[in-house]
């Protein structure tokens, strides 16, 4: 019974974490908070992959002299290792864009940015009309 | 065995708690520090799931450098988010997320249980890689031998992606704009 | 920052951090570690120095031009190791012909490739920190 519950417990938590990340990306207006939401989503996917690679009673995939040793699956580890570093590089790119947007608009709130875009568009429209 | 399960359950629940706290924090500095803690707990989680290389990377990159970059960016950004009333859009978002997570949890009953040796993920390539790393490459750390040799193309691509992202940030934040405006002023 | 304890501690810690980074880099074949982690650790040493002293002081020990050069050199080294194999008559990025035996070739290839990855990651992280620290916010864009 307890094995049955904990066999899927990790999956449940991963899915809930994923949806928390998605909720932050959808509903929060601050661009910085959206990047944090993406980071949460990303980490939950990493956790899902590593969970697939786990073998109960196995060890880390570093070879020992014992021939009968069971190793956890190394392939998801490789995929996620590179993904983490790429993730931080793309996060930095997002932060750089946010900093530039803040310099141009004076705000990082989504609604205010689109409002000031509308005002600018409207002024241009009036100028063209005259 | 039972101890492993308890540690596992404790760590994932801790991650869930931190993530729920992140949703409603309005001070940006606490958001950033909570994100760093989240990454650190994720690294502990990776250790308990036998992925030592990944845990090492997550602890140094996710909890270390990422937090520093967030703090460096924060010095140019507003320190607090604007207060927002709970409105219809939030209800739509909550409904969407609840439905999708319900569907995913329903689907999770078709996934193999965690940690079984006979799971499909462990049947094909993994054994070949472990044997090949012992006999052909001769390096004890299987993760390194897959990373650099078996999947060398993949890692080359990732390195180029990191390089490109670095160049893109340099272009975005470079001081070139002020230099151009200085030249324009001299022309005038 | 004008704190004597921080400055002395940074000076003492700077070399051991880089040494630890090199250990992680070259011990990646036998234990956890490798280019990605080592690059970040070495970059952390430079970032610590830049935070405690100043970015200008850090630019003396790691000039931006050298930084850009090493940034490109790492990715180039990775691609070049593959091309050496190609010239010696093997598929791209297959290291068997680099050494006297197949195993020795694999060892040399993996060591060089990981070194390239480490160089790129380290210098990307340092240049990210430089560009975030130097971003000029004083003037608005439209003046």
Residues 6+ apart with CB under 8 A from C90: C96, C97
Q: Which chains neighbour A (Cβ–Cβ under 8 Å, 3 or more pairs)?
A: B, C
Q: Looking at residue C141, what is its pLDDT?
A: 44
Å between A60 CA and nearest CA of chain B: 5
Q: Looking at residue B188, what is its pLDDT?
A: 67
In a domain, C140, yes or no: no
The question of ipTM being above 0.85 is answered as yes
**Tens of each residue's pLDDT in chain A, 130 residues:** 666 666 788 888 899 999 999 999 999 889 999 999 999 999 999 999 998 888 888 888 888 888 888 888 899 999 999 899 889 999 999 999 999 999 888 888 888 999 998 998 889 899 988 8
**What mean pLDDT do residues C30-58 have?**
91
Q: Looking at residue B100, what is its pLDDT?
A: 94
In a domain, C141, yes or no: no
In a domain, C39, yes or no: yes
- Asked if A3 and B115 count as a contact pair (C-beta separation under 8 A), the reply is no
Query: Of all residues in chain B, what percent carry a pLDDT higher than 70?
Result: 95
Residue by residue, DSSP assigns C5-54 as HHHHHHHHHHHHHHHHHHHHHHTTTTSS--HHHHHHHHHHHHHHHHHHS-
Summarised one tens digit per residue, pLDDT across range B104-159 is 999 988 888 887 888 888 888 888 888 888 888 888 889 988 888 888 898 999 99
Show me where the domains of chain A are located: 2-129
Chain C residues whose CB is inside 8 A of the B166 CB are 71, 123-124, 127-128
- What's the domain range around C81? 4-134
Q: Which of B68-72, B94-98, B108-112, C132-136 has the lowest mean pLDDT?
A: C132-136
| The dihedral sign for the CA sequence C132, A100, B38, C121 | negative
d(CA C17, CA C11) in angstroms, rounded, equals: 11
In a domain, C130, yes or no: yes
Summarised one tens digit per residue, pLDDT across range C52-76 is 998 888 999 999 999 999 999 999 9
pLDDT band at C142 (very low <50, low <70, confident <90, very high): very low
Class of CATH domain A2-129? mainly alpha
pLDDT band at C2 (very low <50, low <70, confident <90, very high): confident
Chain C residues whose CB is inside 8 A of the B170 CB are 127, 131
Q: Looking at residue B133, what is its pLDDT?
A: 86
Show me where the domains of chain B are located: 1-81
Token pair, residue C71, equals: 């940034």
Helix (H), strand (E) counts: chain B: 9, 0
Residue B27 phi/psi, 5-degree rounding, is -75, 125
């Amino acid at each position: 019974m307890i094995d049955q519950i904990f066999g899927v417990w990790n999956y449940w938590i991963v899915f809930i974490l994923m949806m928390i990340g998605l909720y932050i990306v959808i509903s929060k207006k601050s661009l910085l908070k959206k990047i944090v939401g993406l980071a949460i989503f990303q980490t939950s996917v990493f956790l899902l992959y590593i969970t697939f690679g786990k073998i109960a009673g196995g060890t880390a995939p570093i070879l020992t002299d014992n021939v009968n040793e069971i190793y956890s699956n190394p392939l998801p580890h490789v995929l996620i290792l590179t993904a983490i570093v790429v993730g931080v590089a793309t996060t930095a790119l997002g932060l750089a864009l946010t900093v530039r947007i803040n310099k141009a608009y004076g705000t990082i709130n989504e609604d205010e940015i689109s409002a000031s875009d509308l005002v600018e568009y409207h002024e241009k429209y009036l100028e063209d009309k005259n | 065995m039972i101890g492993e399960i308890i540690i596992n359950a404790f760590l994932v629940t801790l991650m869930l708690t931190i993530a729920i706290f992140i949703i409603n924090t309005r001070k940006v500095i606490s958001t950033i520090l909570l994100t760093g803690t989240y990454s650190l707990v994720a690294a502990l989680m990776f250790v308990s799931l036998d992925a030592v290389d990944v845990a090492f990377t997550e602890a140094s990159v996710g909890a270390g450098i990422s937090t520093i970059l967030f703090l460096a960016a924060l010095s140019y950004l507003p320190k607090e988010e604007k207060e927002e009333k709970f409105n219809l859009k939030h209800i739509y978002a909550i409904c969407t997320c609840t439905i999708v997570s319900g569907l995913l949890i329903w689907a999770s009953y078709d996934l193999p249980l965690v940690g079984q040796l006979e799971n499909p993920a462990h049947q094909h390539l993994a054994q070949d890689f472990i044997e090949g790393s012992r006999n052909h490459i001769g390096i004890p750390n299987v993760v390194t031998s897959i990373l650099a040799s078996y999947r060398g193309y993949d890692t080359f691509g990732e390195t180029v992606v990191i390089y490109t992202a670095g160049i893109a940030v340099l272009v975005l934040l470079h001081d070139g704009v002020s230099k151009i405006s200085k030249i324009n002023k001299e022309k005038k | 920052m004008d704190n004597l304890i921080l400055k002395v501690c940074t000076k003492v810690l700077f070399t051991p951090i880089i040494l630890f980074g090199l250990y992680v880099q070259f011990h990646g074949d036998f234990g956890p570690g490798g280019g990605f982690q080592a690059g970040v650790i070495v970059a952390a040493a430079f970032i610590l120095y830049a935070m405690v002293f100043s970015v200008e002081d850090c630019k003396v020990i790691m000039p931006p031009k050298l930084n850009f050069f090493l940034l490109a050199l790492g990715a180039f080294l990775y691609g070049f190791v593959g091309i050496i194999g190609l010239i010696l008559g093997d598929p791209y990025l297959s290291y068997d012909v680099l050494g006297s035996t197949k195993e020795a070739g694999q060892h040399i290839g993996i060591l060089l490739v990981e070194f390239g990855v480490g160089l790129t990651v380290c210098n990307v992280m340092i240049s990210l920190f430089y560009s975030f620290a130097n971003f000029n916010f004083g003037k608005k864009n439209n003046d």
